[in-house]
Chain A
Amino acid sequence: MVTRTSVLMILGRVFVQAFLVALAIVVIYPLLWMLLNGVKSNSELFANPFALPETWRWENYVTAWNRGVGDYLTTSVLVTVASTAATVLISAWAAYGLTRVKIPFNRTILILILAGLMLAPTVALIPLVKMFQALGLYNSFWALLILYTAFRVPFTTFLIRAYMLDLPLEVDEAAAVDGASKARAFWQVILPMCRPIIISTILLNVLFTWNEYLFAMIFTSGGTLQTLPVGLTNLMAKHGTDYPVVFAGMAIAAVPVIVLFFAGQRYFIRGLADGVGK
């Protein structure tokens, strides 16, 4: 009897492990296929989709870069850096104001900021287009910077605030006794203490901005500056028959965030886990 159940257990374990590995392959293989297609020739692409390339045409990546991917990447980097910095700073200020400083209508302001979590960007889309046209900011870098910051502040404030609530108030008292102003206490004591959550929020905002499509598509579609997600669809529309170049462009867009995820995995997981309770 004992042996029969243990055989079943072992079989079950083998089956589970095989399934988990198979699933990992289902995840990884399409991504490898994308990378490989980026170094094939167009005819190889159609001949046998599973085959390895005969010669590795790395020049496809250069072609993609020169057909706009380089510019899209530059725009993406600029927008990502600027809006992440703005979002994290503004959110850290707000979190500090909500947790460690006395302000009037504290509760109302907290609700006002956190309620932004519920707002779907599509809902505000039409009025925002009108507003940015009126402000003369339609098709500009500023449109994306402002929108990404405004729509990410609630989530980022939520995460930083939760972290700040756990820091002991004695820290502030000690800083005040030392004669530090509130501003000084923020920059030199509290912000450095929040380092782990700040890193998490930076990473999550980078991921969001790098990948965002709706605002990028609507607010920069006619302009010269486009981020990678919008640029890739343009590359596809303009040079749609030169598929390996499109694959190369996709790889250029995907690889930086994958690397970033593996490099900062611990912080990503922390931010995601804290964030889902929003």
Chain B
Amino acid sequence: MTVSNAIRRPAPSASGSDAKGLPKGRQADRSRASRWRNMVWVLPAVLLLCVFCYLPLVQNLGFSLLKWDIYSGRQTFIGADNYLKMFNDPIFWKSLLNNTLYAGISIVFQVFGALVLAALVEGLPSPRWRGALRAIYFVPSAISLTVAGLLFYFIYEPRMGILNAALETLGLGNFAQAWLGQENTAIFGIIAMSQWQGFGYCTLLFAVALQRIPSELFEAASIDGVGPVRRFFFISLPLVREMSSLMMIVTVSGAFQVFNEVMVMTTGGPNNSSQVLGTWLYRSGFVRNDFGYAAAIATAVFVITLVLAVLQLRLAKRRRVEW
């Protein structure tokens, strides 16, 4: 290493804390001063976060109490009116419901589905196939939600899309429809895209968790005549339980922050049927010019994600499983 052949001199303590040979009091002084000097290491991160993450968070609470037109710039204090308006806004509730649907369906496919899938992939005898499948499944997670969203917009498109064409080829032409153009199917079309995009990410993480289980456990069980299905339920499942809980929270938290794919695929339409909190916030603030109301929706998102984050932290602390 470079330092070992660097200038060798009887360390006159550039770092300060190891200032030997000084009277006790001065040594403490110097070390206190040097500790404060050491703050330069963390200062850029702390400043960035305080100014661009925490300050806006606090400001948002203040903004949510204002009636505020962006163009005229006029601001009036209206107390909790924005929150009252929110509780009486059917589109807010529709959005919240859609986010909840998003979360529920994602738990089924991206947590449970991905766990089973990871167990199936890891059960394959050939390491080359295991690696290839994990990688292939992950590819949609590497591309942007914008590309994935546009791609599925075209897949659902009635005239050129492959979904309706595939249904017709299979003799299920009756089911062909304008998936994103109808109020009752739009949000499900978006959620389906999201499962396609995200399941590989979860599968990969579960595969890593499963690999960390000592193989002797599985071998011992097989010798005792325990079949693959029971091995999954009695060994894999309990030992990746912590990982599953974490994935569930990450997934649900993500589901309440959805924005990109809805914007690209339907912008919340038709008739606000696929609106989610993120897009309704955007529309309220930037299209309908009601910044105060948008800030109130942002507070709702904040409360939801905060609760989930606290849960996640508590789980992460308990996570260290020893074997």
Complexed CA–CA distance, A174 and B2 (Å):
12
Give per-residue flags for A245-278: 1 if the beta carbon is below 8 A from chain B beta carbons, else 0. 0110010011001101110010001001100111
Interface residues of B in 4-59 (CB under 8 A from A): 4, 6-9, 11-12, 14-15, 17-18, 31, 34-36, 38-42, 44-46, 48-53, 55-57, 59
Complexed CA–CA distance, A30 and B165 (Å):
13
Contact of A103 among B39, B52, B228, B312 (CB under 8 A): B39
> Which B residues touch A27, using CB under 8 A?
136-137, 139-140, 196, 200
B8 A178 Cβ-Cβ under 8 A: yes
Main secondary structure, interface of A, reads: helix
A276 B250 Cβ-Cβ under 8 A: yes
Q: A120-B257, A185-B3, A262-B135 are in contact. Are A112 and B46 (CB under 8 A)?
A: yes
B49 A228 Cβ-Cβ under 8 A: no
Q: A180-B3, A184-B3, A218-B286 are in contact. Are A261 and B142 (CB under 8 A)?
A: yes
Interface residues of B in 105-125 (CB under 8 A from A): 117, 120-121, 123-124
Taking CB as reference atom, which chain B residue is nearest A251? B147
Does A16 have its Cβ within 8 Å of any Cβ on chain B? yes
> Which A residues touch B9, using CB under 8 A?
179
Does B143 have its Cβ within 8 Å of any Cβ on chain A? yes
Contact of A20 among B120, B247, B309 (CB under 8 A): B120
B3 A174 Cβ-Cβ under 8 A: yes
Does B74 have its Cβ within 8 Å of any Cβ on chain A? no
Q: A20-B120, A213-B144, A277-B316 are in contact. Are A33 and B49 (CB under 8 A)?
A: no
Does A62 have its Cβ within 8 Å of any Cβ on chain B? no
> Which A residues touch B270, using CB under 8 A?
none
Does B96 have its Cβ within 8 Å of any Cβ on chain A? no
Q: A93-B44, A122-B281, A174-B4 are in contact. Are A213 and B302 (CB under 8 A)?
A: no
> Which A residues touch B2, using CB under 8 A?
188-189
> Which B residues touch A125, using CB under 8 A?
56, 281-282, 285, 294, 298
> Which B residues touch A258, using CB under 8 A?
139, 142-143
Main secondary structure, interface of B, reads: helix
Taking CB as reference atom, which chain B residue is nearest A265? B135
B46 A122 Cβ-Cβ under 8 A: no
What is the distance, in angstroms, from A101's C-beta to the closest C-beta of chain B?
A: 5
> Which B residues touch A2, using CB under 8 A?
none
Give per-residue flags for A160-185: 1 if the beta carbon is below 8 A from chain B beta carbons, else 0. 00000000000000111111111011
Does A238 have its Cβ within 8 Å of any Cβ on chain B? no
User: What are 6 A-B contacts with C-beta separation under 8 Å?
Assistant: A17-B124, A20-B121, A48-B165, A131-B59, A150-B52, A269-B208
Given contacts A120-B305, A265-B135, A276-B246, 7 further A-B contacts (CB under 8 A): A24-B136, A31-B140, A33-B151, A125-B294, A150-B53, A246-B150, A269-B208
Q: Which residues of B contact A (CB under 8 A)?
A: 1-4, 6-9, 11-12, 14-15, 17-18, 31, 34-36, 38-42, 44-46, 48-53, 55-57, 59-60, 63, 117, 120-121, 123-124, 133, 135-140, 142-147, 150-152, 154-155, 159-162, 165, 196, 200-201, 204-205, 208-209, 228, 243, 246-247, 250, 253, 256-257, 259-260, 263-264, 277-278, 281-282, 285-286, 291, 294-295, 298-299, 301-302, 305-306, 309, 312, 316, 319
